[in-house]
Amino acid sequence: MAESTHPHARDILAEIEAEVAHELEEERPPVGGRAYQTVGALVGIAIGVGAAVLAYDYGLGSLHKPGPGMWPFIVSVVIAALSAVLLVVGRGLTDSEAFTRSSVLPVVGVVTFVAFAVLLPVTGFEIPALLLSVIWLKLLGGESWRNTIVISVVTVAAFYFLFLYGLRIPLPHLIAF
């Protein structure tokens, strides 16, 4: 209704939309080619397979009594399978991005997650989970220290109680209630 009475408002909205679209286009990373798509898919397969192996070592249990590695194993298999599909189908896609400095952030995320998996059986759940959360929030996400500390402590406590007491998954842990 208001648009028909104010044609000038439509012009202003169109200008704003064009300006926002232009700014988003300027911020977009450079376009990659088929090689980037292939490398991305191969990295996804490697991560999925590697994580599945680590999860399997934790023990899968059964569907009625899942072990600590069940859900990480399922997620890892899905990642590897979707990456394999991307490897086959994705070569014709044109929406890949070239690697830039920000491409290192997912690598840091994967390395810290692998460190979490390695430290978990040695130190328990609490310390590696807290370190992972702090690294992801502060270093990768750029959160303030206050937000990082509050969110990390609350998140680790919530997962601690969810996994150990809610779902009764026998994760290695230091603190017992």
- Per-residue pLDDT tens, the chain, 177 aa: give them: 444 556 677 778 878 887 777 776 666 666 667 778 888 889 899 999 999 999 998 888 888 888 888 999 999 999 999 999 988 887 667 677 777 777 788 888 888 888 888 888 888 888 889 999 999 999 888 899 999 999 999 999 998 888 888 888 777 766 655
Judge whether 58 and 67 are in contact, CB under 8 Å.
yes
Where do the domains of the chain lie? 1-29, 31-99, 101-177
Picking from 51, 43, 39, 175, the residue whose alpha carbon sits closest to that of residue 115 is 51
C-alpha 41/C-alpha 85 separation (Å) is 8
- For residue 63, the SS3 value is coil
